[in-house]
A and B are shown apart, each in its own frame.
Chain A
Amino acid sequence: AQTVTQSQPEMSVQEAETVTLSCTYDTSENNYYLFWYKQPPSRQMILVIRQEAYKQQNATENRFSVNFQKAAKSFSLKISDSQLGDTAMYFCAFMKQDDKIIFGKGTRLHILP
């Protein structure tokens, strides 16, 4: 069975700093997808970034980028130039093709003014 582990329950950084959220996963699959979702206080689930396992190049979306290490089964999220609006719960997630998403327990990120 697949598992997703986020080892940092809570983090705080100053505005404009760079922060990295850690995620590891366990699977025997070769083809899969990895995601980071953001959940602000409104509790809506917002897709931040997505990575296909067959792609070696790390995904980037503006200030958000990932460090995908397939052999190590690691998928960390880097937020550059952090903003107050980045304050949220961040969930790392794994999905086999056309299958359900398995979420980690989340990391609560506080951006401090």
Chain B
Amino acid sequence: EPEVTQTPSHQVTQMGQEVILRCVPISNHLYFYWYRQILGQKVEFLVSFYNNEISEKSEIFDDQFSVERPDGSNFTLKIRSTKLEDSAMYFCASSLAGASTDTQYFGPGTRLTVL
């Protein structure tokens, strides 16, 4: 069964460093998402991406964040200058377009630890 994959599973970085989190969505999916879950809190939407552009972003997704689909298969989230409060689990998700297939399938997540 196709699945969303994410790398790395765990990333440790120093405050102020740039990180890139990678996701490979399910191959025929057209909508892509990033969500974040700070430890012990609920999952929060960051950004959605369709047709090579951002569809929607939350207030969390400030200028330090960017997303890209560089090669037609990968979907990346970049944090330009990490802060301590960026430590969280980051989930990528993808879905098919269309009214009948709107389930978002989540990847296993990347645990980001900012020191």
Tier of interface size on chain B: 20 to 34
Q: Are A91 and B31 in contact (CB under 8 A)?
A: no
A78: Cβ under 8 A from any B Cβ: no
Number of A-B contacts (CB under 8 A): 52
B111: Cβ under 8 A from any A Cβ: yes
Give chain B nearest CB distance to A93 CB in angstroms. 8
A103: Cβ under 8 A from any B Cβ: yes
Whether A91 touches B103, Cβ cut-off 8 Å, given contacts A43-B89, A100-B56, is: no
| Residues of chain A lying within 8 A (CB to CB) of residue B103 | 33, 35, 47, 50
Proximity string of chain A (17-47) to chain B, C-beta cutoff 8 Å, 1 when within and 0 when not? 0000000000000000101010000111111
Whether A105 touches B42, Cβ cut-off 8 Å, given contacts A43-B111, A98-B31, A100-B56, is: yes
Q: Kindly identify, within residues 42 to 68 of chain A, every residue whose CB is under 8 Å from any CB belonging to chain B.
A: 42-47, 50
Give chain B nearest CB distance to A40 CB in angstroms. 11
Tier of interface size on chain A: 20 to 34
17 contacts between A and B (CB under 8 A): A33-B102, A42-B108, A43-B37, A43-B109, A43-B111, A44-B106, A44-B109, A47-B105, A91-B42, A95-B102, A98-B102, A100-B45, A101-B43, A101-B45, A103-B42, A103-B44, A105-B41
Chain B interfacial positions (CB closer than 8 Å to A): 31, 33, 35, 37, 41-45, 48, 56, 58, 89, 91, 93, 95, 97, 99, 102-106, 108-109, 111
